[in-house]
Amino acid sequence: MWLIQRPDSGANPLIVSLTEAADGAVEAFGAFAFASASGIQLLTSSANMKALLAGGPVELVIGIDAITDTSAIDAFKAAGMLYPNLAVAVFVHKKAGSIFHPKVMCFVYPDGTGRALTGSGNLTQGGLKLNWEAFSVQNLDVAAVSQLKSEWGTWKAGSANSLKPVDDHEVAALANRNKLTRQKLKRIAEIAVEQEDAVDEIVAEIKHQLGLNRMLIAEVPRNKNRLSQVGFDKSTYQGYFGVDIDDGKTIYLHPVGKDGQVGALEVSEAVSVKSQNFRFEVRGVVGPYPNDRPILIFESVAEDTFNYLFIVPGDDGYSAIKDWLDAGHPKERVMRRIETTAPVLASVWPTCPIL
């Protein structure tokens, strides 16, 4: 059976179908991309669901790429204290460009049959009753339930490294990020249209928090005259920094300290010379050239604006970044310049100050 949830008429709310499916069930398992405290409360408040939670195992896997915030995690913790049979895992991954996005739940009955609900609604108040959503309700025979449980177990085993408990420190950090993002989105809704600069600033901050900004790992070449005049290959110069070879470009740089504090603005003119040396000044690149290549980490925060972190051998994170470069991009005579993403950088150096 295929249903459309309609908030305009009140027809077919997903929460009603979930509650009906829980009636008489002795086991349930499912996964949702996002959850909110109000959605969790809605799911666990019905008599049918309370009976299921009190009697049989209920497993949930919840995504945290967005929406799922500290209030949702606290709601899961509270539900877990109230119902020891409830097991909640949070899906944390490092795959750039992908999000955890299922919305499915399966209920199992004493005779081995079951019922599966699959659709577009998340474990939020909107997904359960307030949005236009679509979902299917499928009754399952014993063989189908057995196959589904086997698939669920295989998937969980293969995803073990991504399944974190609700009290995990990484879960807490991601939930707090989502909380801050929600607050900033609310601020956007309150800003007048003419305040374009404020909107751009908030959007830039949200992109930073979500790890959407492009990152660059760049080894710094030796420069006899001035180390801060950092040269780049043409591809990086044009592709990452967006410099027009003929016209040049003004680059705005913010140094990031080892403590994560953003320093004063630097204005640098990107230039090119006949020798195909494409460079601009990065004032934070100072000191004698060390015994191995220094590294600059850039974060693109706007078309012409970049944060950067300068590290040398012996600094926190240097060995981790160098090992990552060596593993995937063998050292050559030319300097390595590798574009990546914030989630990848976080997996290599979780405490990187620029993140």
Q: Which of 13, 221, 6, 193 is nearest to 117 (CA)?
A: 13
pLDDT band for position 349 (cuts 50, 70, 90): very high
Angle at 21 between CA 17 and CA 27, to 5 degrees: 140
Strand order of the sheet with strand 214-219? 229-232, 278-281, 266-272, 249-255, 305-311, 295-302, 214-219, 337-341
How far apart, in whole angstroms, are the C-alpha atoms of residue 38 and residue 99? 22
Q: What does the pLDDT average to over 301-329? A: 92
Query: SS3 of 56, please?
Result: coil
Strands 2-5 and 27-32: unpaired
Check whether 198 has a pLDDT greater than 60: no
Q: What does the pLDDT average to over 33-61? A: 93
Check whether 154 has a pLDDT greater than 90: yes
pLDDT band for position 299 (cuts 50, 70, 90): very high
- Over the Cα atoms of the chain, what is R_g? 25
Q: What does the pLDDT average to over 109-119? A: 98
Residues of the chain with CATH 2.40.330.30: 213-348
What's residue 346's pLDDT?
86
How far apart, in whole angstroms, are the C-alpha atoms of residue 250 and residue 257? 23
Residues of the chain with CATH 3.30.870.10: 2-167
- The CA distances from residue 329 to 60, 125, 326, in Å, are 39, 46, 5
Out of 18-27, 147-156, 270-279, 308-317, pick the least confident. Answer: 270-279
What's residue 145's pLDDT?
97
Q: Which of 254, 216, 222 is nearest to 237 (CA)?
A: 216
Residue 237's CB is within 10 A of a number of other CB atoms, namely 23
What's residue 150's pLDDT?
96
What's residue 257's pLDDT?
93
Which CATH number does the domain 213-348 belong to among 2.40.330.30, 3.40.50.720, 3.30.360.10, 1.10.275.10? Answer: 2.40.330.30
Between residues 220 and 244, the one the model is more confident about: 220
Q: What are the tokens at 78? A: 């509270």
What's residue 195's pLDDT?
56
Q: What are the tokens at 236? A: 């990086």
Check whether 20 has a pLDDT greater than 90: yes
Is the pTM above the cut of 0.75? no
Residue burial 8-47, b: 16+ Cβ < 10 Å; e: rest = eeeebbbbbbbbebbeebebbbbbbbbbbbbbbebbbebe
The mean of the pLDDT values for the chain is: 88
Residue 57's CB is within 10 A of a number of other CB atoms, namely 15
Q: Residue type at 334?
A: V
Q: What are the tokens at 282? A: 């990065």
Could you identify the residue written with the tokens 């603005």? Answer: 265
Strands 214-219 and 103-108: unpaired
What's residue 225's pLDDT?
67
Report the topology of domain 2-167.
Endonuclease; Chain A (3.30.870)
DSSP per-residue string spanning 134-202: EEEEEEE-HHHHHHHHHHHHHHHHHTGGGEEETT-HHHHHHHHHHHHHHHHHHHHHHS-TT-HHHHHHH
Contact 85, 69 (CB under 8 A): no
Residue 72's CB is within 10 A of a number of other CB atoms, namely 26
